[in-house]
Amino acid sequence: MKKQWFEWIKAFAIAAVLAVIVRVFLFAPVIVEGPSMLPTLHNGQHLIVSKINYTVGEPDRFDITVFHANNQQDYIKRVIGLPGESVAVQNDQLYINGEPVEEPYLEEQKQAIPSGQDLTDDFTIEELPGGHSTVPEGYVLVLGDNRDNSTDSRSIGMVSYDQLVGEALFTYWPLDRVGLTD
């Protein structure tokens, strides 16, 4: 009888250790707070974030990333500018190193705004906090998909790799939005 109890306790202990390892080093659940990533992500949406993606690799353009904005709060935004790149928006067109780059995830929003208005106010990287001419090494420039209502690199500056928690990969709640993030 004692042996059976010992086996059960050992199984639960192993499961607990594995759960802690997965949670701390590999994946984390995150809940979207606020409207800054609409219509891609909605307030209250539950996501799985891969911590390992940025441990063994670096962010890619258009990744949806979670980062520590301060000691109490994490933000979720889209990676737009990578190290060494010049970034600007003119007349609702994103430019990376002077070349136009399409943002297909914004097309629906752009079509919904009145003619003559822009979804994203014009800016150049030099105008952002820090006054950089390019995204510094070890940093990314991030923007929310809801460009009118997002606290992002336009107000907080560049985000260092050290602040990155991970890449949002999968939505698991609510059920009607279950699937890969895009």
Instruction: Walk me through the domains of the chain, giving residue ranges and CATH numbers.
Output: 2-180 (2.10.109.10)
- Of residues 133, 154, 130, the one with CA closest to residue 142: 154
pLDDT band at residue 60 under the 50/70/90 scheme: very high
The residues that bridge with 89 in the sheet, in sequence order, are: 94, 123
Structure confidence at residue 9 (pLDDT) = 82
pLDDT tens-digit profile of 62-114? 999 999 998 889 999 999 999 999 999 999 999 999 999 999 999 888 888 88
pLDDT in tens, 122-132: 999 999 999 99
Residues 6+ apart with CB under 8 A from 45: 31, 32, 171, 173, 174, 177
> Mean of the per-residue pLDDT values for the chain?
90
- Would the pLDDT of 20 be above 90? no
The set of catalytic residues is 36, 77
Under the banding of pLDDT at 50, 70 and 90, the label for residue 48 is: very high
- Show the tokens assigned to 69: 């904005």
Report the pLDDT value the prediction gives residue 58, as an integer from 0 to 100: 92
State residue 23's pLDDT score: 62
Supply the pTM of this predicted model. Answer: 0.85
pLDDT in tens, 21-30: 666 666 788 9
**Burial of 40 by CB count in 10 Å (0-12 exposed, 13-18 middle, 19+ buried)?**
buried
